[in-house]
Structure formats: C-alpha cells, structure tokens
Structure 1
C-alpha cells in the first residue's frame, strides 16, 4: 500500500516519539554503579550522611604505577561499599550524627554495640581510603620535602632507612591491612601496620600517610607481587598533602 507524504510524516513522528519514550524509560531503569548510588544519597542535605569523596584526579592519572582499572574498582566499588554500609549503620543511631568518624574510631567503646563492628570496619575503610586518595597524585613522588622530610630524617636517620622500614612493614603484614607512618601521643613518628580496615585513630595515633596492602589495591596489575607494588607506590606520593596532614597532627 502506498502512503502519501502527510501520512508518512504522521507515522514517522509517532514512531520517533515511541522510540524516545522507550529510550528514556530504559535510561531511567538502567542499573547505576554503586558509586553513583552512594553519591546520590550523600548529596542529600541530610545531617550525618557520610559522603563518598570524588577522586582528586582521573582514574588513569597514576599510571603506570597504579592502573586505571584498579582505581575505578577500588574507589567506585570498595570505598563506595564502606560508605554505604556506614551510613546504614549510623542511620540506626541518629544521636551520633554530630560526631566525626575519626571521633568514633578514637573511642570505639562509646559506639553502640550493635553497630560497633560495622563502624570499626566500614568507618575505618572510609577514613583510610579518604586519606589514601589525597596523599597520591600525578607528577608526584620523589623524596619528601618540608617539615615531614626533617621529621623523617630526625626519627629514622634518612629517607632511605624510613622507606625500607615502611616497605618491610607493608610486605610482612599478613593478609589484608595497611602500612602506616603515624604520629603518636608522644609526638614521635613511627611505622606501624593494622589489620583489615583498622585505623591508627583507634590506637591513639594520628595517620600521617598509609599504603593499602589489601589485594584489591594492587592485584589487577601486580598479581601477588606486593613488594613490587610497594616500591612503585613511592612514585605517586603527594608530599604537599602529607605535609598538611603532618602539620594537622602536630597541632
């Protein structure tokens, strides 16, 4: 059957409108990433909601030392998961909304028992990773500068000795955990490790810098070569940010 021009335009317009509606419906119902969901929740002006911080740089900014795929999964899945679980736990206890996560981690015994483990694991994961993204960056690395350089030299004798002690701590941490440079209550720097997502705050120490030695932090690129990852990590350290953390800890 032949269609005249008017009938063709009407039919074409109807199909186009139907296609647009279906496309919109598909976009609206398409699954969102966990990071997008957490960011959406965190953007609400609700008191006490913990936010997933965006990466301060592109996913591939730390290559070739840390690959884009690792950064995408590490931030968008792992960190986002900690934030989601932490918000769910804190929602049960609105009386905690005005306390920082650092305060809660510093006094875990004060956290209600029904959410204490969740705060320890997921609160630690959130605080640890928020620090982790900040102390790394592109076009970084090299030896430390400023006050932290002087403090490291005073405490460890040289940057090389500190670097060796830090790498050994990260390499010998059995299973999952972190290697840290912390400032203790005696105002002295020390290298330490923690298991899982435990925070130095829980031991009365301030984390100046830390390296994540969970396998998800390096396995895509380095497989089981943790020592190689630890060595490469020094090439992405942002000493300006580390100096800011050191100044805050001392103050």
Structure 2
C-alpha cells in the first residue's frame, strides 16, 4: 500500500504568528507531499513498496532515500512543534532539563549552542538534539536529507534549515526563524523521546 502524507498534528494556522498557515501549506501540503508522491513512484513494485517509512529510510539508497528521509525528517519536525496557545515554547522541565544542564551547563547554554550550530550550518539541512546510545545528550547538524535514524542515535528535537521552513515568514533571516522556533518547541514530546 503506498505511503500517505500524515496530517499535521494541529491546524495549518495553529502555529501563527510564529509560522504562518502559508508556510505550512508550502512546507507540508506541497513539498512534503511531493516527497511522499515521488517516493511512492520510485518504490512501486519493489520490495520496499509496502514498508513503513522508517524502514524505507534505513534501507533505501539514492533518490528513494532522499525522498524517504525528507518525509520522515519533516514528520518528526512537525511533532517537535506545538502551538504556543496550547503550551508550546517555554522551558524544558524534569529529566530533560536535567540532561540538558548536565551536558551543556544549563538550558540557556544549550539554546546558545543549538542556535550557533543552526546559524553556522551552510545551506539546507537540519539541526538535531540527540541522545547517544550511552545516554549522553548531543547536538548534530545534517546536510540535505541526512537523518540520525540511519545510525545509533535517538533524535529528540529537530529544526528544519530548509528555506521553505521559514522564507515566506522571515525571508532570509534565519535568526528570526530560530526565535520563532523556541516559541513553538513541544518540550513534552522531546522529553517523552528520552530513553
């Protein structure tokens, strides 16, 4: 059965004023949908045609990997966000806050490091908060469609550095997009991913 584009976990305008409905229409409704459609076309009749998306990401190569990984990364990104009116943003708490403080000194230092990595990453890609197999917390940047699920790390949080994630709202100002991102982080979802 072909893959289908999963619905957003909130209404297309629920992230406003930080991310507009137009941005979500373009990013999710057009570009992420295109990745799913292209992937389905590439996999038609293959052994991966009926596989779950995460398995496809782990086994596919070439263009099929690129489209599968982008579809997975974007789905993860949407679930890393929560409307501010529903409790998105704010500060992490509990075990997550303790893990961030243990690794980075405190939550503010974690944010500074995350932002520095996002601002220094050239071109399109992603910045991830990860948990290593030994339990340590780490940051990583990946280019284009690369994703941590092809390795041993557990992704906890992601920000898309593809221009379609912010260009309609912030033009070429990645810094303003980062400021908006912090207003929307779903810290409960991030904490639930901790092992």
TM normalised by structure 1 equals 0.72
Aligned length in residues: 192
SS at match of 2:183: helix
Alignment match, 2:136: 188
Equivalence map 1:1-251=2 (5 Å): 46=1, 49-93=2-46, 95-97=47-49, 99-106=51-58, 108=59, 111=60, 116-138=61-83, 139=85, 140-246=88-194, 250=195
Once the two structures are TM-superposed, the CA of residue 96 in structure 1 deviates from its matched residue by 2.5
**Could you tell me how far apart the structure 2 residues matched to 1:144 and 1:206 are?**
18
Whether the aligned pair in 1 keeps the contact of 2:126 and 2:141 (CA below 8 Å) is: yes
Comparing both chains, which one has the higher relative contact order based on Cα–Cα distances under 8 Å and sequence gaps of 6 or more?
2
Larger Rg: 1
Looking at secondary structure, tell me which structure has more helix per residue: 1
Residues 181-231 of structure 1: per-residue CA shift (max 9 Å, x gap): 011222211111001121111233221110001111001111110011112
Residues 75-133 of structure 1: per-residue CA shift (max 9 Å, x gap): 1001101111111222231x225643323434x4xx4xxxx112321111111111111
Distance 1:84 1:185, change over 3 A: same
Distance 1:80 1:153, change over 3 A: same
SS at match of 1:143: coil
Ranges in structure 2 where 5+ consecutive residues have no aligned partner: none
Root mean square deviation of aligned Cα:
1.5
**Could you tell me how far apart the structure 2 residues matched to 1:146 and 1:103 are?**
32
**Could you tell me how far apart the structure 2 residues matched to 1:218 and 1:100 are?**
29
TM normalised by structure 2 equals 0.92
